[in-house]
């Protein structure tokens, strides 16, 4: 785990969701100086953080939609780091959980030097990485569906069909044609 230790005047934790984010800025002394819910727009973030821009570092958990935020912050010269989701949960487990608390915890993890950093893949490599990940998911789903189909044949006592390979197109068409719905 790559922990990030930084010394800044302000630390900003961002709890990012699909349509909005909660931003929490804490001072180097640990005092909360701003907590605000914003729309997922870089211009709103820039306006909210304007008073702190001279010495601030931002942290966000690696969620499904971090690309635009990290790219936007870097475009406007804001120092932002991506947090490793698994290790952030391990570090900051809590019974009380909401967006404001999560953003505050991220800010305090940055401040305390316990922010578990994740690798932010550069923009030009993301498309191919996402394509390979999606293909892997689809291949896994296909295998799972083939196994379920064979299980149905075994359950029905049709050992001849259960032993067949369902991979060829002709075999799949024949198998589909012989299925009788009750």
Helix (H) or strand (E) holding 105: helix 99-112
Q: How confident is the model at residue 76, as a pLDDT? A: 95
Q: Which two tokens stand for residue 28?
A: 């180097």
Helix (H) or strand (E) holding 117: strand 115-117
CA distance 61 to 103: 9
Q: Are strands 56-61 and 79-83 parallel, antiparallel or unpaired?
A: parallel
Helix (H) or strand (E) holding 4: strand 2-4
CA distance 141 to 167: 14
Question: pLDDT tier at 89 (50, 70, 90 boundaries)?
Answer: confident
pLDDT at 74 over 70: yes
Q: Mean pLDDT over residues 32-58, rounded? A: 96
DSSP letter at 95? S
What SS3 class is residue 14? strand
Q: How confident is the model at residue 120, as a pLDDT? A: 84
pLDDT at 16 over 60: yes
Question: pLDDT tier at 182 (50, 70, 90 boundaries)?
Answer: very low
Measured CA distances, 182 to 157, 178, 179 (Å): 16, 13, 10
How long is the chain?
A: 182
DSSP letter at 94? -
Mean pLDDT lowest among 48-52, 55-59, 80-84, 178-182: 178-182
Mean pLDDT lowest among 44-53, 126-135, 173-182: 173-182
Q: Mean pLDDT over residues 137-150, rounded? A: 87
CA distance 70 to 74: 6
pTM for this entry: 0.74
What is the per-residue DSSP string for 35-79?
EEEEES-HHHHHHHHGGGGGGEEEEEE--TT-HHHHHHHHHTT-E
Q: Which two tokens stand for residue 142?
A: 């296909």
Over residues 98-123, the pLDDT tens digits come to: 889 999 999 999 999 989 988 888 88
pLDDT at 128 over 70: yes
Q: Mean pLDDT over residues 134-148, rounded? A: 88
Supply the mean pLDDT for the chain. Answer: 86
């Amino acid at each position: 785990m790559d922990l990030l230790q930084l010394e800044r005047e302000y630390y900003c934790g961002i709890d990012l969701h699909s349509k909005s984010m909660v931003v929490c800025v804490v001072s180097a002394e640990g005092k909360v100086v701003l907590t605000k819910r914003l729309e997922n727009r870089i211009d709103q973030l820039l306006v909210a953080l304007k008073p702190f821009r001279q010495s601030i570092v931002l942290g966000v958990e690696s969620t499904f939609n971090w690309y635009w935020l990290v790219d936007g912050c870097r475009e406007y010269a804001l120092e932002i780091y991506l947090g490793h989701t698994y290790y952030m949960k391990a570090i900051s487990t809590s019974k009380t959980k909401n967006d404001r608390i999560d953003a505050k915890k991220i800010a305090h993890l940055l401040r305390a030097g316990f922010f578990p950093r994740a690798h932010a893949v550069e923009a030009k490599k993301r498309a191919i990485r996402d394509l390979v990940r999606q293909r892997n998911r689809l291949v896994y789903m296909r295998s799972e569906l083939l196994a379920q189909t064979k299980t149905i044949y075994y359950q029905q006592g049709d050992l001849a069909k259960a032993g067949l390979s369902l991979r060829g197109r002709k075999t799949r068409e024949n198998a589909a044609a012989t299925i009788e719905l009750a």
